[in-house]
Chains A and B, each alone.
Chain A
Amino acid sequence: MDTGKQEASRQTKIIVGLILAVWALVTIAPFLWMILSSFKSNAEISQMSQSILPHHWTLQNYKDLFISGNFGVYLKNTLIITGFSFIGLLLNAMAGYGFAKFKFKGRGVLFIAVLATMMIPGQVTMIPVYLILNQAHLTNTLTGIILPSLVGAFSIFLFRQFMSNISDSIIEAARLDGASEWYIFWHIILPISKPVLAVQGILTFIGGWNSFLWPLIIANDQKYYTLSVGLQLLQGQHTSDYGLQMAGSSFMVIPIVIIFLIFQKYILQGFNIQAEK
C-alpha cells in the first residue's frame, strides 16, 4: 500500500520532469540559436536552410563588433554607468538605514513619499526629466544618463526591511563606546547587511549593464551610447547581417548569465526575503 503510493509519486515526478525538460529546452533554444549563429559566416546565415551547428566556426562577427561596430566605446560607457550605479546602491543603503533605525520628524510622511514614487510609470516622468536635464545642460552627457536612475524606492524599501531587523542593542553599545554614527554605519551596519547588499549588488549590476531607455533618450552622440543602445543601432544599420547581430546579442547576454550562475544562490535567497516580508 505504502510502496504503491510512492511508486505513483515517482511516476508523477518522471512525467513532470519530462515536461519540464522539453519546456526548458524550448525556453533556452533562442539563446542556443543566438550563440551558434554568432559563429556562422554571413554567407552561411543567408542560406535558406541552415544546419544547427556552424559549418565553419568563425570569430569574424565578434571582431567586426569592435572594428566597425564601435562596441569598445559602448562597453566602456556601460561599465562607467554600471560603476556609478553602485554609488546609487550606497545612497539607497544609507536611506534605508536612516528610515530603519532613526526616529525623526517627518519620517512617516517621507517614507510614504518614497514608496509613492514606485507607482509612477516611467513614461510619465520621462518627458519632464528630459526637460529638467535639458535646462541643466546635462543632455548628451554621461552625468545626465546616470543621475535619473541612480536611486530607487524599491531598493530603499528592501534595505529598510532588512536593517529594521538588526538589533538596536548593537548600535546602542557602539554609541556608548563613543563611535560616531557614520562609523557605526560603515563598520557595523554594512557588514551585517551583506546578504541584502549581495542581492542588491547583483541586481544593480544587471540593471546598469542592461540600461537602455535613459541612454537612448539622453545620448545624441554615439560616443555616449551604451551596449543596448549600440545594439539597437546595429540592428537598424545592418538589417540583414544576422551573424553580426547575434554576436552583439551574445556579447550582452553571456556576461550576465555567467554572473548570474556565480551568484545565483544569493539572488534566489533574495526572492525569499522579498516574498516573505
Chain B
Amino acid sequence: MGKEKLKKYIPYTFIFPALLLLLVFSLIPILVALVISFTGLDITGLGNWSTVKFTGLTNYIQLFNDPTFLQSIGNTIFYVVLGVPLVVFLSLTVAVMINLSQNKFFKTMRLLFYTPSITNTVAVAVVWSYIYNPSLGLLNEILGKIGIAPIGWLTDPNVAKISLIILAVWKAIGLNMLIFLAALQGIPRSLYEAAELDGANFWQQTLHITIPSMRFSIFFVTVTTIIGWFQFFDEPFVMTKGGPLNSTNSMALFVYQNGFQNSNFGYAAAGSFVMFAVIIIATLIQFKLQRKQRGEE
C-alpha cells in the first residue's frame, strides 16, 4: 500500500527540478515585472524596499511621452519591416537553390551558409565593426577601388540601421535555410514528376509546387523571425550602443539601458511590457492572416 502511494510521486520527481527552475526564472518573474512596472523602483529601492512607492500608470504614461522610447519603437518597426521579408525571402531562395542537387558541392554550400548562425554574436559584431570602419574597413576600401566615396556605415544616422540589418540578415539566413530545406525534402517527388510531364520548367515548378507546399514552414519562419526582430538587441548593443543620435536604439536595448545602466527598474519593466504587448499583437495578426489565407483556399 505504502509502495503504491510512493509510486504516484515518481513522475513528479522527474519533472520537478526543471519545473522549479522555470517557475523561479520565467513564470514568477512575469508577475514581479508586472508589479514593479507600476512602481518607481530604482537603486535606492533595491537597498531599502520601504522607499519603493506605488505609482500607478505613471511609468506607462511617461514612456509614451519619452522621445527616446518612441524613437526606439520606430526603429524596431523599421528593423522588422525591412529585416523580416529579407530573411524569409533570402533563406527560402538559398534553400531552393541548394535543394537542386544532392552532390558534394551543394552539401558544402549548405555548411557555408549555416556557419554565421552558430557563431557568437559578439564576435561577429566585433568583426563587422572592423569591416564597417570608415577609414580602415574592408567595405570602404573595396568601394574606394571602384570609385565610391567612403560611407559612414555606423556613424551616419541614416545608414547605421541598415548596416545592422545587413549583419543580422547575414546571420539569420543559415538557420532558416535549414528549416526550409527540411520542408523541401518533404515535398512528394510525384508532384514534380507530374509537372515535368506537363512540360513545366524549373521556375514554374518552384512557383506552382514548391512555394505552395511550403506554406506552413514559411509561416513558421515568419512568425519566429518577427518575434526575434522585435527583440533585436545584441547587434545594436555591441556595435552602436543605440547611437548615433539614438538612430539604432531598439526597444530591447532601451529596456536594458534603463534597467541596468540607469537602474530605473520600474520604468524599464514597464517598457518591457509594452514590448511584450507589441510582440503578442504582431503574432496574433500573423495567425489571423494565416487563417484567412487558409479560408480562401
Q: Pick the contact of B36 from A5, A114, A122, A131 — CB < 8 Å?
A: A131
Which residue of A12, A151, A245, A256 contacts B21 across the interface (Cβ within 8 Å)? A151
> Contacts A20-B97, A148-B25, A268-B178; is A94 near B122 (CB within 8 Å)?
no
Listed A/B pairs (10) with beta-carbon separation below 8 Å: A24-B109, A95-B19, A98-B14, A104-B12, A121-B230, A121-B275, A123-B272, A128-B36, A147-B21, A257-B118
Is residue B86 within 8 Å, beta carbon to beta carbon, of the partner chain?
A: no
Q: Which residue of B lies closest to A136 (CB)?
A: B24
What residues of chain B lie closer than 8 Å to A120, measured between beta carbons? 26, 30, 276
CB distance from A133 to the nearest CB of B (A): 9
**Dominant secondary structure at the A interface:** helix
B209 at interface by CB-CB < 8 Å: no
Closest A residue, CB atoms, query B271: A123
Q: Is the CB of B265 within 8 A of A97?
A: no
State the majority secondary structure of interface residues on B. Answer: helix
Interface stretch (choices B57-65, B130-138, B153-161, B286-294): B130-138
Partner of A125 from B26, B94, B105 at Cβ < 8 Å: B26
**A24-B112, A48-B135, A98-B15 as given contacts; A209 in contact with B30, CB under 8 Å:** no
Interface positions, chain A 57-104, Cβ under 8 Å from B, are: 91-92, 94-95, 97-99, 102-104
Residues 1-49 (chain B) with a chain A CB within 8 angstroms? 8, 10-12, 14-15, 17-19, 21-22, 24-30, 32-33, 36, 46
Q: Mark B211-227, 1 if CB is under 8 A from A, else 0.
A: 00000010000000001
Q: Can you name the residue of chain B whose Cβ is closest to the Cβ of A270? A: B178
Q: Is the CB of A228 within 8 A of B122?
A: yes
A248 touches B126 (CB 8 A): yes
Identify the closest chain A residue to B128 (Cβ).
Answer: A30
Number of interface residues of A (CB under 8 A): 94
In the complex, what distance in Å separates the CA atom of A27 from the CA atom of B170?
A: 7
With A and B bound together, what is the CA distance between A126 and B21 in angstroms?
Answer: 15
**Nearest B residue to A209 by beta-carbon distance?**
B120
Shortest Cβ distance from residue B114 to the other chain A in the assembled complex, whole angstroms: 8
- CB contact under 8 A between A125 and B25, given known A20-B98, A94-B17, A249-B123: yes
Q: Does A150 contact B (CB under 8 A)?
A: yes
Q: Which residues of A contact B (CB under 8 A)?
A: 5, 8-9, 12-13, 16-17, 19-21, 23-24, 27-28, 30-31, 33-34, 37, 45-46, 48-50, 91-92, 94-95, 97-99, 102-104, 107, 110, 113-114, 116-117, 119-132, 134, 147-151, 153, 156, 181, 185, 206, 209-210, 212-213, 217, 227-229, 231-232, 235, 242, 245-246, 248-249, 252-253, 256-257, 260-261, 264, 268, 271-272, 274-276
B186 located at the interface, meaning its Cβ lies under 8 Å from any Cβ of chain A in the complex: yes
A8 → chain B closest CB, angstroms:
7
